[in-house]
Amino acid sequence: MLLTVGSMTIDTIVDGETRRTIDFLYPAGTAEERAEAETFSDRITGELVMTIGSYLVRFGDRVVLFDTGVGSQPVGTYIGGALRSALLAQGVALAEITDVIFTHLHADHIGWATQNGQPFFPNATYRCDRRDWNHFVSPEYEIPAWEIVSSTPEHDAARVRLAPLADRMVFWEGDAEVLPGITAIDAAGHTPGTDAFLLESDGERALLLGDIVHSVHELLFGWDFPVHYDHEAALAALRRVRSLAVEQHLPVSAAHFTGMGWGYVTHDGDRFRWQSIH
Ligand SMILES: [Zn+2]
């Protein structure tokens, strides 16, 4: 879908999806909460559909891609492959992308960053939080068990996929203006360098959440997620960005929301609720 924020346009560029049961992802949720989340599930398998892709943000001379999907080949149960066609369908050539901003460096966000050992977006400046680069690209990074079973690390790990970008990366760290109108908000926890992103233009604002949460109901109910790097910090970050979204009535989306849809979080005195933007 298309969201406009002042003179900024934000298009959804779907690369693919992955699916998991809500029981597997969110064992901490109550039966009632999980039943509510099932309204977002595949009706046949009962699995939560987690979309994977990029947000294409255009303003002024900038053509910015947030994250780069799974890539041309599947990564474990993450199925991508559509991102290039989705960009072309928007009339955007690879060479027109001016900036690639990574929300964090997990394999399902860096897939199209390079192909065959070359930057896939030839004219782009690639940007990420320095803490994630230092963590994932370090030769000392020990690949956790869940990454080993859900990817092929010799192809998909950040230190392999992003190696061709080493001399062209631009870093920020925590709270920082990444580009005029795009501000990172420190939300470390899912990974050491996970951030939220405030998009601002002409007095209007929106909030991108990356993988701070992976579903609308994770955001509403404050559920834990199995593969956070630091669970306590991740849950604190979730509550911080949720408060920001509620108090400032900001449209929000996250990289794996079903359909990568946008909505508002409201609080009715009792609990948080989701108001979808169609
Ligand atoms: Zn992800």
For residue 106, the CA-to-ligand 1 centroid distance in Å is 6
For residue 254, the CA-to-ligand 1 centroid distance in Å is 9
pLDDT at 149: 79
For residue 109, the CA-to-ligand 1 centroid distance in Å is 6
Rounded distance, CA 129 to CA 246, Å? 25
For residue 188, the CA-to-ligand 1 centroid distance in Å is 14
For residue 269, the CA-to-ligand 1 centroid distance in Å is 31
User: Running DSSP on this structure, what letter comes out for residue 147?
Assistant: H
For residue 89, the CA-to-ligand 1 centroid distance in Å is 23
Reference 58, options 109, 10, 129, 107; nearest CA is 10
pLDDT at 29: 87
Rounded distance, CA 203 to CA 248, Å? 12
For residue 19, the CA-to-ligand 1 centroid distance in Å is 12
Instruction: Find out whether 124 and 100 touch, Cβ atoms under 8 Å.
Output: yes
187 three-state secondary structure: coil
For residue 169, the CA-to-ligand 1 centroid distance in Å is 20
What is the residue whose two structure tokens read 């609080």? 267
Is the alpha carbon torsion for 70, 71, 72, 76 positive or negative?
A: negative
For residue 262, the CA-to-ligand 1 centroid distance in Å is 17
**Paired tokens of 8:** 């900024």
Per-block mean pLDDT, blocks of 10 residues, the chain (278 long): 96 95 87 84 82 97 98 92 97 98 97 96 98 93 82 86 95 98 98 98 98 96 94 98 98 95 94 92
For residue 255, the CA-to-ligand 1 centroid distance in Å is 7
Rounded distance, CA 267 to CA 232, Å? 23
Q: 51 - beta bridge partners?
A: 17
Computed over its alpha carbons, how large is the radius of gyration of the chain?
Answer: 17
For residue 243, the CA-to-ligand 1 centroid distance in Å is 22
For residue 180, the CA-to-ligand 1 centroid distance in Å is 25
For the chain, domains (ranges, CATH) are: 2-277 (3.60.15.10)
For residue 132, the CA-to-ligand 1 centroid distance in Å is 14
Where on the phi/psi map is residue 99: left (φ > 0), alpha (ψ -120 to 50), or beta?
Answer: beta
For residue 53, the CA-to-ligand 1 centroid distance in Å is 9
For residue 108, the CA-to-ligand 1 centroid distance in Å is 5
Other Cβ atoms less than 10 A from the Cβ of 242: the count is: 21
The model's pTM: 0.95
62 three-state secondary structure: strand
For residue 256, the CA-to-ligand 1 centroid distance in Å is 7
Q: 127 - beta bridge partners?
A: 101, 170
Cα 229 to Cα 69, 71, 156, 271, distances in angstroms? 20, 23, 18, 27
What is the residue whose two structure tokens read 């298009």? 11
